[in-house]
């Protein structure tokens, strides 16, 4: 029987004592690796050609099994698994050499970040069999060979972020990503991948960013892009894609950044892209797109960066762009636009950069009169226009127009 809250106080003291005991136990254990994890880390260390500060000194001490105190190693304790390595974050540590397949023994690993080093060699299949892995970042290294997406996605259904960009990977676009059903960010940019996109990539309905720029990918852009309805960022620039841009953006309602510059695309901007409500950045520069421009700025109120340069767009300078009140950077350079700069462009008060070079504009004085009212404009390029004027080349670069 409890009186005057003594029972509650007793229960509190018991719970607090148990908590303190568990904390003390965790404190003693939180530096100690599981023996299997320790062996895996030592195997990784032995495969490096460079020193790893905070690891070799730990190995030389009598408490070398306290690897959870090593630089970049994160551990979690549970009554079931004990103290296990769950994260290995060694980004930008000047590491050289290969990656030992001993890391495959870290079966509780959730994060592996070895980015921005000088690691090289093939990625061993064993490294792609970590069942609890959620984040894998091997970007900015010198890994080469093919990417084994089948192995990577075969066991780990938890993988959310995969970054293999800025390496030397080659071969066809990997088949198997469709089994990474939880994947949200996929970055394979700046490699030597070739061929067309694997069909199963269109199964990644949770994907919010897809970065494939600076590869050798080719083929037409598939209408099944519409399946990637969660996309926020899509970058396919500096590849060899051809054909037209599919009219699928009504289904990709979260898209904020779309870049396909420096490909071999033809045709027009599809209406669903020109009317995309969520779009902030659109870059289709350096293609062979050929039509008049119809950007619905009322439907795209968040557009801040628009680059249509180095195409075959023609017709008058679109007056409708004056409704893009958030526009900060605009390039229509190296096209076939003609006529005058619309007077309504004085509404582009957020504009800081504008390039209209290499078109067939006329009336330089009227253009400068309009653009001088854009109070934030600091970079203006009008070269190779105004053929009926005395000044054939006109460009400004400064603090104000």
Residue 51 belongs to a domain: yes
**Would you mind telling me the total number of residues written for the chain in this entry?**
401
Same domain? For 347 and 199 the reply is no
Q: Which of 243, 264, 291 is the last residue of a domain?
A: 291
Tell me what pLDDT residue 126 has. 75
Structure tokens at 119: 């690691």
3 lies in a domain?
no
Of 234, 260, 291, at which residue does a domain stop?
291
Q: Which residue has the tokens 């045709």?
A: 267
CA distances from 159 to 77, 181, 228, 234 (A): 22, 8, 17, 19
Pairwise CA distance, residues 172 & 146, whole Å: 8
Residues 284 and 303 placed together within one structural domain of the fold: no
266 within a domain of the structure (yes/no):
yes
∠ CA 283-227-310 to the nearest 5 degrees? Answer: 15
Residue 14 belongs to a domain = no
Residues 281 and 148 in one domain: yes
Q: pLDDT tens string for the chain (401 positions)?
A: 444 444 433 433 444 344 334 433 444 445 578 899 999 999 999 999 998 988 855 445 444 567 898 999 999 987 877 889 999 999 999 999 999 999 999 999 999 999 999 999 998 777 778 889 999 999 999 999 999 888 888 766 799 999 999 999 999 999 999 999 999 999 999 999 999 999 999 999 999 999 999 999 999 999 999 999 999 999 999 999 999 999 999 999 999 999 999 999 999 999 999 999 999 999 999 999 999 998 889 999 999 999 999 999 999 999 999 999 999 999 999 999 999 999 999 999 999 999 999 999 988 899 999 999 999 999 999 999 976 554 444 454 444 44
For residue 168, the model assigns a pLDDT of 98
Query: What pLDDT is attached to residue 354?
Result: 97
Question: By C-alpha distance, which of 230, 223, 182 is closest to 199?
Answer: 223
2 part of a folded domain = no
Note whether 282 and 302 are same-domain residues.
Answer: no
**DSSP tag of 206:** T
Indicate if 342 and 372 belong to the same structural domain. Answer: yes
Token pair listed for 60: 């030389």
d(CA 344, CA 143): 52
Q: Environment class of residue 4 by beta-carbon count within 10 Å: exposed (0-12), middle (13-18) or buried (19+)?
A: exposed
Same domain, 199 and 70: no
160 and 256 in a single domain? The answer is: yes
CATH number of the domain that residue 342 is part of: 3.80.10.10
Q: Is residue 12 part of a domain?
A: no
Do 249 and 284 belong to one domain? yes
Query: What are the backbone angles phi and psi of residue 48, rounded to the nearest 5°?
Result: -85, 150
Kind and range of the H or E element at 120?
Answer: strand 118-122
Predicted confidence at residue 134, as pLDDT, reads: 95
pLDDT at position 74 is 95
306: DSSP letter: E
Q: Are residues 150 and 194 in the same domain?
A: yes
* Same domain (yes/no): 334, 319: yes
| 180 occurs within a structural domain | yes
- Whole-angstrom distance, CA of residue 287 vs CA of residue 303: 21
* pTM (two decimals): 0.87
Residue 28 structural domain: 23-76+86-101
Q: Let me know if residue 273 belongs to a domain.
A: yes
Do 222 and 363 lie in one domain? The reply is no
Q: What is the pLDDT of residue 208?
A: 98
Query: In total, how many domains does the chain have?
Result: 3
70 & 167 share domain? no
Domain limit, last residue, from 291, 325, 359: 291
């Amino acid at each position: 029987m409890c009186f005057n809250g003594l029972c509650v106080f007793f229960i509190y003291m018991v719970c607090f004592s148990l908590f303190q005991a568990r904390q003390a136990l965790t404190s003693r254990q939180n530096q100690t690796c599981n023996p299997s994890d320790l062996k895996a880390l030592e195997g990784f260390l032995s495969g490096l050609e460079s020193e790893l500060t905070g690891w070799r000194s730990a190995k030389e001490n009598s408490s070398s099994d306290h690897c959870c105190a090593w630089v970049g190693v994160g551990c979690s304790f549970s009554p079931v698994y004990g103290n296990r390595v769950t994260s290995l974050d060694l980004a930008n540590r000047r590491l050289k050499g290969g990656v030992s397949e001993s890391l495959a023994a870290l079966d509780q690993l959730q994060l592996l970040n070895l980015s921005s080093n000088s690691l090289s060699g093939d990625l061993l299949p064993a490294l792609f069999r970590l069942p609890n892995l959620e984040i894998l970042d091997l970007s900015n290294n010198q890994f080469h060979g093919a990417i084994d997406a089948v192995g990577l996605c075969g066991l780990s259904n938890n993988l959310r972020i995969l970054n293999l960009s800025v390496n030397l990977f080659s071969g066809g676009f990997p088949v198997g990503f469709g089994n990474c059903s939880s994947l949200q960010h996929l970055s394979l940019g700046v490699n030597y991948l070739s061929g067309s996109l694997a069909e199963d990539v269109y199964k990644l309905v949770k994907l919010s960013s897809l970065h494939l720029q600076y590869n050798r990918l080719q083929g037409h852009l598939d209408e099944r892009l519409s399946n990637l309805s969660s996309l926020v960022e899509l970058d396919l620039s500096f590849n060899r894609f051809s054909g037209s841009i599919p009219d699928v953006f009504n289904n990709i309602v979260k898209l904020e950044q779309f870049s396909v510059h420096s490909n071999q695309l033809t045709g027009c901007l599809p209406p669903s892209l020109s009317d995309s409500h969520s779009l902030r950045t659109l870059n289709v520069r350096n293609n062979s797109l050929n039509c008049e421009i119809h950007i619905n700025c009322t439907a795209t109120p968040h557009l801040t960066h628009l680059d249509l340069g180095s195409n075959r767009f023609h017709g008058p300078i679109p007056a409708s762009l004056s409704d893009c009140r958030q526009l900060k950077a605009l390039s229509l350079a190296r096209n076939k636009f003609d006529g005058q700069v619309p007077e309504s462009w004085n509404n582009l008060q957020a504009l800081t950069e504008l390039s209209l070079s290499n078109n067939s504009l006329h009336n330089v004085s009227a253009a400068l009169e309009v653009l001088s009212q854009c109070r934030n404009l600091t970079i203006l390029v009008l070269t190779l226009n105004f053929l009926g004027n005395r000044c054939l080349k006109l460009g400004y670069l400064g603090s104000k127009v």
